[in-house]
Structure formats: structure tokens, C-alpha cells
Chains A and B, each alone.
Chain A
Amino acid sequence: MNLFTNYMDSIRAEDALKTDTKINVNSILADGGRHADAPQNPKKFKARRAALAISAMAACAVLSVAGYAFYNTPVNYVSLDINPSVELGVNAFDNIVSAEGYNEDGESILKDNSVRNLSVEDAIAVLIQKANEQGFILSDGSTVIAVTAESDDENEASDLQDASQNGVALALEKCSASAIVYADCSSLELRTEAKQLGVSPGKYKLIAALQALDPSITVEQYKNSKITDIVADAGEYLSSASDVDDGEDQAEDSTDKIKQAAQKIKAAKENAEKNKNGGQSENETSDASESTEQSDNSDTQSAEQAMNQIREKDTNKSHDTANPVKAQKQSEKQTQEQTEEQAQEQTQEQTEEQAQEQAQEQAQEQAQEQIQEQMKEQAQEQTQEQTEEQAQEQTQEQSEEQTQEEAQEQTQKQNPDKSDDAASEKSGGAAGEKNKS
């Protein structure tokens, strides 16, 4: 410990330090020392500590408010239209942060249903189920459900579209309902236009497509129509003016979808009628013509799709020159669409085949009935003949009996006395005469 003590000895208070301290202490004491009892440093430190603590809390508060605000800010939108029109606000995490009904029906499916914080898929599934419960989805499967993703980012738009479609599919499966799904995307600019007119963006886009086909159409006309009707009307225009295919490229995609959707509506409605009326010959012929129509359309569809793929690739070059992922996605989408169409065609064919079989069976039954009738007739004829023959026999017998009776009467008349003998003589005589000669 000597080391320690020696060293400590060598430590002295510096002169300057002593002098300064003297001066300071004196001046403070001169200023009314008692009040300076609490030296400034602890206060400084405490004040600093307090200040830091408060600023830390303030920072936390600001961050949490900012975070909350950010979470609740919609970045993209998805609109769901059947007849009810609903627009869901989607935040950066793909959760729903706002839901707005664009018409009364829309508000009625939103009522009592919080879709906040659900994922896009789940929210749409819930709303579709509600719509089904409230009867907006027809049981013949001809209702068109339009889901439109509104975003300025193409990737996000297609992701939202897929998620929405999945949600619809899930819900339809759950309620054992069927409907036609029309999925599309639009830009946020379109959304602002739509809002100004008081229509949901999804519906607006379809009405715009209609307007492209017939410029005389106004938004007011179709503002309150069902999506199914808009699509069906658009389908009418498209089928009658099918040489408008070399129009703008973007419109191509949507018009194609509209065409397909319209055809599906037709098919669904006709299927429903078929099931009502059962195999009448009229329907047979209409089935036959339909099946040929559809096979033609499927050919044109695949041809159009091929053309569209080529065109889309051209347009996408301007957006993303080297984006194989996106191209893949699109081609995947298209193949998905194709397989879906094929599946639908197959089911349609199957239902047609079943109808045809039923018709055939009924025809066979009728034929059998006719044959049976004929046989019955023949049998009747035969029995009539038989009875006639019998009648004839009877009359013959009767007449024979009559002649015999007459003959007897005659003999009796000729030989009244020798009735028996005479008869016997005659008969014997006759017999004798015969013997002699």
C-alpha cells in the first residue's frame, strides 16, 4: 500500500483550482449565499435528465401517431360490385382500413360487418357471403361479380386482383353458390373520376367500356344497374360488332373479358331454362346450335388470346423492358384463364350431353308406347275377326238346323200316318232299292 499512499501524497490541488474556487465561492456567498445552497450542477443534471426523458416520450408519441396514421392510410383500393357497390381501402400491408358503400345495397352488406383489418381476401369473402345471404347472387349462376383493383402500381394491382378473386372463389364455394367473376384493374385517376360522378370505380370502368362501344350511352343510364346487365349489354354490342378487334390495346383486354363474361351469362341463363323445361325438342335443337356456336367461339377465343398475348407483350415493353417475372405472371394468368374457360366449356358440354340423353330416352319411351298401341290394335282386330268367325259359324249352324227341321217337317207332312214306319220304310226301301240295283 505504500505505492498507493506515496502516489496519493503526490497529488495536490492545483493553485489555479484553489484560486478559482475561492473567487467563485466568495462571489456566490456575497450574492446571498443561502439561496445558492443547492449548487447548480445537480439541477442541471436533473433538468437535463428530465428534458431527455420528456423528449423521448414525445418522440415515442409522435412515432406512434405517425405509425398509426400510416397504418390507416389506404394505399390502394379494391371495388366490389354486383349490384351492391362497395369500395375497400387497402393499406400498405394489404389489410382493409376503410370500407365505403356506393349505393344503398352496398351499405346494406357493409352494415353490421366490420371488415377492418382483415386481409383483402377475407374481407371480400365475408362481403360476398353477405351478398349471397341477402339474395344479390342469383341461383342460376348468371350474376356477374366485378372486382376491380385500383392502384397505380401494376404489380400491386395484379396482386390485389388475384387476392380478390381468391376471396370470391372461397366465398362462393362456402355458400355453394356460383357466379361469374369479372376481375379487372384500374388506375387511381379513374377512381377520382368515378367518385366525382358518384359511381364505384369498378362499375365506372365497365360503363366506360360500354360507352366506347356506343357513345350515346350516359353514366346516368347505367348508374344503378346490376353489373350483370351492364356486361350483358356490352356483350350484345361486342358480338354484333366483332370487327372492332383492332382497337386500342388496353381496351382489348377488357373487352375480351367482357365478351367472355357476357357469354357466360348467356350460358348460365340458358342452362337455367333447360333445367326448368326438361327435354323438349325445341331445346334439343337449340342445344345443338349452341354447342356449335360455342365451339366456334372457343376457337376464336384462343386465337384472340394468342393475339392478345402478343399485343400485351408489346405494350409491356414500354413499361418494363426486362421483367420476366411479370411476363411470367401474365402468361400464368392467361393459362389460368384458359384452363378456367376450358373447364367451364366442359361442364357446359356435359350438361348438354345429359340433356340430349334425356331427350333420347324420352323419344325411345314414346316409340315403345306407339309400338304397344299398335300391338294392342292388332290384337283387337284379331279378336274381332275371331268373333266374326264365330258368329258366322253360329249362323251356319243355325241355318243347317233350320234346313234339317224343315226336311223333317216335310216328311212328316207326306206321311202323316206311317210316320215312323214310313220313315223307316222309306229309309229301308231306299236302302232296299239301293241293294237291288
Chain B
Amino acid sequence: MERSLGTDDAVSEAIEKYADMVRRICFLYLRNYADVEDVFQDVFLKYFLNEQSLESEDHRKAWLCRVTFNKCKDMCRSFWRSRVVSIEEMDIPVEDPVQGEFIKEILKLPAGYREVIYLHYYEGRTVPEIAEIMEKNINTVYTWLRRARDELKMKVGDNYL
């Protein structure tokens, strides 16, 4: 069978476009570089296999977010992972210690909460969009956002929010 957009250039292009976003999401969930590599491969492979059904740019981004997020969750949840601690754990390179603290606190949030924070504050998505991406109820997203903010406030103070 022939793929529709299978040229090396198309592959290259897509990866260039979306790699950063995928990388950021991976950062939120994975601590192991090998895992990141795995996720990248899976995500982009899937992307090229399903490309046809993705029409708009917006749609593609949303789709990639969802797939990456799910892949990361699977990774974390795997039986293998919970048994094995990788030798190479990634550090979080940070210049400002305060910032470092804040980031760490975000990373301590439950998985879904991190996602909504990222999508809302970094990607600038609206709640309904987030709900679609994560395949969750809109009210759920509202609740998660609220709770996440409350927890961060508790731990870091009001200034940074």
C-alpha cells in the first residue's frame, strides 16, 4: 500500500513543526530520555499513518496533544516502569531556583492537572477545547483547573499566579 504523504520531506517538516510541543508534553510526564525517544517515535509514526483524517492545523495540533498525552500516561502506568528505575534520570535544568521550585510543584500535580495547566496557560486553549483534546467533560476541566490553581497557591503563594 502507498502512503499519501510519505516523502522524507513531509516527515521532516511535520517533525520540525511539532517536535517542541511534543517535547514539552513529554517533559511534564517523563523523566527518562529513552522514554522520550519512544514517545516521539510512536507519536509521529501514528501521525503519518493517520494524517489524512486530520484536516486543519488546529485539528492536527489538538490530535498530537492528545496522542502524546496518552502515550506518556501509558508509559508511566506500565508495569515495567513501576518496577524498573532507569539509570539515566533527567535533571530539570533551571537557572532561577524559585522558578525551579514552581516547576517542581507543577510536576507534582496529578497527571490530568498538569495537562490542563499546560494547555490552558501555555497553549492558550479554551476550556471547551481542552475538554475535547482530553476527551473529558467540560466541567471536569473547570474543576481540575480550579483545583490545580488552589494547590499551587497553597504551595507557592499568590504572586506567581
Interface residues of A (CB under 8 A from B): 1-8, 11-14, 17-18, 20-22, 24-26, 28-29, 32-34, 36-37, 39, 41-42, 44-45, 48-49, 52
| Residue pair A52, B42 in contact (C-beta under 8 Å) | no
| Residue pair B98, A3 in contact (C-beta under 8 Å) | yes
Q: Which of B75-112 contact A (CB under 8 A)?
A: 75, 78-80, 94, 96, 98-99, 102-103, 106
**Which chain A residues lie closer than 8 Å to B96 at the CB level?**
3
| Residue pair A3, B48 in contact (C-beta under 8 Å) | no
- Counting chain B CB atoms within 10 Å of each CB, the highest count among A5, A7, A12, A28 belongs to A7
The 3 nearest A-B residue pairs measured at CB: A13-B19, A13-B23, A39-B42
| Residue pair B11, A12 in contact (C-beta under 8 Å) | no
B116–chain A nearest beta-carbon distance, Å: 12
Answer whether A33 and B49 are a contact pair too, CB < 8 Å, given A4-B122, A48-B80.
Answer: yes
Alpha-carbon distance A243/B160, docked complex (angstroms): 108
A315–chain B nearest beta-carbon distance, Å: 58
| Residue pair B99, A3 in contact (C-beta under 8 Å) | yes
Of A4, A28, A48, which is within 8 A of B45 by CB?
A28
| Residue pair B99, A13 in contact (C-beta under 8 Å) | no
Alpha-carbon distance A48/B42, docked complex (angstroms): 18
Interface residues of B (CB under 8 A from A): 1, 3, 6, 8, 11-12, 15-16, 19-20, 22-24, 27, 36-38, 40-42, 44-46, 48-49, 74-75, 78-80, 94, 96, 98-99, 102-103, 106, 117-118, 121-122, 160-161
Answer whether A4 and B48 are a contact pair too, CB < 8 Å, given A21-B41, A29-B11.
Answer: no
Answer whether A36 and B45 are a contact pair too, CB < 8 Å, given A17-B19, A45-B74.
Answer: yes
Alpha-carbon distance A5/B38, docked complex (angstroms): 25
Answer whether A39 and B46 are a contact pair too, CB < 8 Å, given A4-B117, A12-B20, A48-B79.
Answer: yes
A21–chain B nearest beta-carbon distance, Å: 5
15 example contacts (A-B, Cβ-Cβ < 8 A) are as follows A4-B122, A6-B99, A8-B24, A11-B27, A12-B20, A17-B37, A21-B37, A22-B8, A22-B11, A25-B11, A25-B45, A25-B48, A29-B11, A29-B45, A42-B74
**Which chain B residues lie closer than 8 Å to A26 at the CB level?**
8, 11
Alpha-carbon distance A416/B140, docked complex (angstroms): 182
Alpha-carbon distance A423/B76, docked complex (angstroms): 177
| Residue pair A45, B80 in contact (C-beta under 8 Å) | yes
| Residue pair A41, B49 in contact (C-beta under 8 Å) | no
**Which chain B residues lie closer than 8 Å to A49 at the CB level?**
78-80
A48–chain B nearest beta-carbon distance, Å: 5
| Residue pair A33, B41 in contact (C-beta under 8 Å) | no
Answer whether A7 and B78 are a contact pair too, CB < 8 Å, given A13-B23, A32-B1.
Answer: no
Tell me the interface secondary structure of chain B in the complex. helix
Alpha-carbon distance A42/B75, docked complex (angstroms): 8
**Which chain A residues lie closer than 8 Å to B37 at the CB level?**
17, 20-21
| Residue pair B40, A17 in contact (C-beta under 8 Å) | yes
Tell me the interface secondary structure of chain A in the complex. helix
Alpha-carbon distance A2/B161, docked complex (angstroms): 8
**Which chain A residues lie closer than 8 Å to B121 at the CB level?**
1, 4-5
Alpha-carbon distance A41/B8, docked complex (angstroms): 24
| Residue pair B12, A22 in contact (C-beta under 8 Å) | yes
Alpha-carbon distance A36/B41, docked complex (angstroms): 11
Of B1, B23, B75, B160, which is within 8 A of A17 by CB?
B23
**Which chain A residues lie closer than 8 Å to B94 at the CB level?**
7
A42–chain B nearest beta-carbon distance, Å: 6
Alpha-carbon distance A24/B41, docked complex (angstroms): 7
**Which chain A residues lie closer than 8 Å to B46 at the CB level?**
37, 39
| Residue pair B106, A4 in contact (C-beta under 8 Å) | yes
Answer whether A4 and B103 are a contact pair too, CB < 8 Å, given A36-B45, A41-B42.
Answer: yes
**Which chain A residues lie closer than 8 Å to B103 at the CB level?**
3-4, 7
**Which chain B residues lie closer than 8 Å to A33 at the CB level?**
3, 6, 45, 48-49
Chain A residue with Cβ nearest B118: A8
Of A4, A11, A22, which is within 8 A of B20 by CB?
A11
B104–chain A nearest beta-carbon distance, Å: 11
Alpha-carbon distance A169/B101, docked complex (angstroms): 79
| Residue pair A22, B79 in contact (C-beta under 8 Å) | no
Alpha-carbon distance A294/B91, docked complex (angstroms): 96
| Residue pair B38, A41 in contact (C-beta under 8 Å) | yes
- Counting chain A CB atoms within 10 Å of each CB, the highest count among B3, B36, B49, B102 belongs to B49
Chain A residue with Cβ nearest B93: A10
Of A8, A42, A48, which is within 8 A of B122 by CB?
A8
**Which chain A residues lie closer than 8 Å to B79 at the CB level?**
45, 48-49, 52
Chain A residue with Cβ nearest B49: A37
**Which chain B residues lie closer than 8 Å to A18 at the CB level?**
15-16, 19
| Residue pair B1, A34 in contact (C-beta under 8 Å) | yes
| Residue pair B102, A3 in contact (C-beta under 8 Å) | yes
Chain A residue with Cβ nearest B74: A42
Answer whether A39 and B23 are a contact pair too, CB < 8 Å, given A4-B102, A22-B15.
Answer: no
Of A17, A34, A39, which is within 8 A of B36 by CB?
A17
A39–chain B nearest beta-carbon distance, Å: 4
Alpha-carbon distance A25/B103, docked complex (angstroms): 32
Alpha-carbon distance A410/B98, docked complex (angstroms): 187
Answer whether A7 and B99 are a contact pair too, CB < 8 Å, given A18-B15, A45-B80, A48-B80.
Answer: yes
Alpha-carbon distance A437/B78, docked complex (angstroms): 181
Alpha-carbon distance A4/B79, docked complex (angstroms): 31
B44–chain A nearest beta-carbon distance, Å: 5
**Which chain A residues lie closer than 8 Å to B44 at the CB level?**
21, 25
**Which chain A residues lie closer than 8 Å to B8 at the CB level?**
22, 26
